[in-house]
Chain A
Amino acid sequence: MEGGPAITLAALSITFLVGLSRAMILFIVTSGLSFVLGVLRVPNLAHGSLYMIGAFAAYSITMLFGGGSVGFWLALILAPLVVALISLVAERSLFCHLYQREHLMLLLFTFALMLILGDLTKMVWGADYRSIMPPTILQGSVSIFGSPFPKYNLFLLIIGPLVAIGLWLFSSKTKIGKIARAAAVDMEMVGAIGINVSWVFAFAFVLGCFLAGLGGALVSPTISVTIGMDHNIIIEAFLIVTIGGLGNMWGAMVGSLIFGITQSFGVLLWPQFAIVFPYLAVVIVLTLKPTGMLKSVW
């Protein structure tokens, strides 16, 4: 490698912050996956598809309301709701009838759902690249030690922890949240004390998908929205959930941070080999901690 990047304070700070902001998106998406995994004990292969639909929905809603900042803020609220609605429909019409079956049947169902949603997305939105801009106040960059750092990424650094705190409050302080947490640990017991298990499942699934949609909506101004986004994110999400600890929301945070930051620093220090970093990180973590960083709920 001829020459190398200058390891300046600016470069280090930006690298760290970028890794952090990327980790926030990953956290939001994987917390949803982790939640579904914890309560339903099923890896939702369609999770990436819902993330992609969230991004496309954000695009359409933004365009519907003029393509500007107002459109985007509305999209941020409405797109995840659209995704949640889609998942509710899928769950109530099809998924809920399968809860008595073996887990691998549920996995097969989520695989079929992934295929269907992928093609439906192509049918509805077509193959073109879509691009939306962040709202005006979040466009451009701030200068950190002389290097540019996108304002939108700063926004992500705020949103991520807010979502995390929101989820934590929700799962520990509200009744539904506590039921869901209990269900993740011992579903039979929850059923035995008279709570409708089917509705708990529905709720967990919809919430997980809502988070996927939110992640997709949040990521949409930073990349090109295109079909194929689902495949890219799903493998990362699964790896993160595994190294974080299955079903554990804080595990999703830890896993996302590891992923985002190693990716970022890897890019700075060995840009030639950035392609392998996520996998190396997983190998190292699982070698040192075979059941993931934090306790899994299983």
Chain B
Amino acid sequence: MMKKNTFIVSLTLLVGFFTISLILMPATAQAKNIKVGVIDCYSGPAAVFGADALNGFKLALKDINQQGVLGKKIEFTTRDSKFKVDLALNFAKELVLREDVDILVGTINSGAALAISAAVAKREKVPFIAWISKSENITGKKGHRYVFSAGENTAMAGKSGGVALATKPYVKYWIAGDDYEYGHAIADAAWRNLKARKPEVQLIGKSWWKVGEPDLIPYITSILAAKPDAVIFATGGGSMVNIMKTIKTTGMADKVGIYIHSATDHAVLNPLGINAPEGVMGTIDYHFYFPELSANKRFVSAYKAAYGQPPGFPAFQGYITAHFIAEAYRKAGSLDKEKFIDALEGLQIQSPAGRIEMRACDHQAILPMYFGVTKVSPEQGFAIATDIYTLRGVEVMPSCKEIMEARGQ
């Protein structure tokens, strides 16, 4: 009976597969090192950021593991979520339940970060440090004891943009961006803060395109036709290169003021080379060339030696995540997860950009924001940010009181 044979063969294969992986399950009995589970996107357009963050993380671990942490080394294992939330959830559970990791770290996808935070970190009581995803809800409304963020979020980015733009002479604004939560959140945060500081600004229109939209010319055209003084673009990682290219092709930066969060980031400007548009205003929490602290220079040269190019903000955030983890364990003196969390709250570390604190009330890293304007540097072969104006972390973060109110506490 062919049907039954096929059925039995396939079933046997499946069971065999299953059993083998059970056997291959990592032994948990030995004296283990500190294990970090990394979930990120290593496929699809967001992959470059995930790879960057991991590189920064690995670089930090090289130094950390020379000293050791509580007599152990920090190991890590990665999982590719391919920008899918269900895969991220599966792997998070697999890392916690099967690999028995001490800490979870990741990801660029805000939906995945929120899912991991709620379904795995909170439920299984395992600390999770989000390192690129920018939803302000991660440490805001949906924050809790077991989730931390080592990256800037939309509230911080938007506020820094709004604060900086309030010093500019523009009155009529247009807002445009990727039609998803990140885009809307940044745009709202920027506009809210701008309007609060400069009540006379007017919003004359909004445009939203689908995430990953390749053809932005029609949007630019209709925006220019409305003749705003300035445009706030709320674009995510995947669209940054597209929007910058379109701005360059249409010469838009010569006609109107343009602000985009992360426009001054190296990962965005590098692929454009000397053809990046100039005069675009942007904010980001890390530059490899500013501030010119010796710690930054050391970090940059070590990174360049290891990976062949200067680090962008994800690498910086991955790097500080590793140091936060190491220092928190050292302070806690034990591998106990609860003690780790207590130690991490309020912890300050030395980073390439100076001292950075993990704020205790909401588990958000207090990161500075640098507001700059793009300018091509022919000798380096790409554009950099100039006229950099630093906003301190505490200036751009929501207050502890606001966070607690948002969380309903």
Contact = CB atoms under 8 A, between A and B. Distances in A.
B131 to A, nearest CB: 17
B44 A141 contact: no
B360 interface: no
Contact of A148 (B42, B207, B227, B250): B250
A3 B214 contact: no
A198 interface: no
Interface stretch (B62-70, B217-225, B279-287, B331-339): B217-225
A228 B225 contact: no
Interface stretch (A6-14, A161-169, A176-184, A201-209): A6-14
A11 to B, nearest CB: 4
A62 interface: no
Interface residues of A, number: 50
Interface string B210-239: 101011011111111111000000000010
Interface stretch (A41-49, A95-103, A123-131): A123-131
Q: Name the interface size band of chain B.
A: 35 or more
Contacts of B44: 226-228
Interface in B193-216: 203-210, 212, 214-215
Contact of B223 (A5, A19, A274): A5
Interface in B255-273: 267, 271-273
A149 to B, nearest CB: 8
A127 B204 contact: no
A140 interface: yes
A267 B238 CA distance: 20
Contacts of A224: 45, 238, 240-242, 245, 271
B207 A4 contact: no
B130 to A, nearest CB: 20
B250 A232 contact: no
A275 B209 contact: yes
Contact of B214 (A1, A128, A219): A219
B254 to A, nearest CB: 10
A129 B43 CA distance: 12
A141 B50 CA distance: 35
B241 A148 contact: no
Contacts of B273: 131
B271 to A, nearest CB: 4
Given A5-B223, A129-B271, A147-B224, A264 B48 contact: no
Contacts of B271: 128-131, 224
Interface in A196-230: 219, 222-224, 226-228
Interface in A113-154: 118-119, 122, 126-131, 133, 139-141, 147-150, 152-153
19 contacts: A2-B205, A5-B207, A5-B226, A6-B226, A18-B218, A19-B218, A122-B47, A127-B42, A131-B241, A140-B251, A147-B224, A148-B249, A150-B217, A150-B249, A153-B217, A223-B214, A224-B245, A228-B212, A271-B207
Interface of A: 1-8, 10-11, 14-15, 18-19, 22, 118-119, 122, 126-131, 133, 139-141, 147-150, 152-153, 219, 222-224, 226-228, 232, 263-264, 267-268, 271-272, 274-275
Q: What are the nearest 3 A-B pairs in CB distance?
A: A127-B47, A224-B241, A271-B207
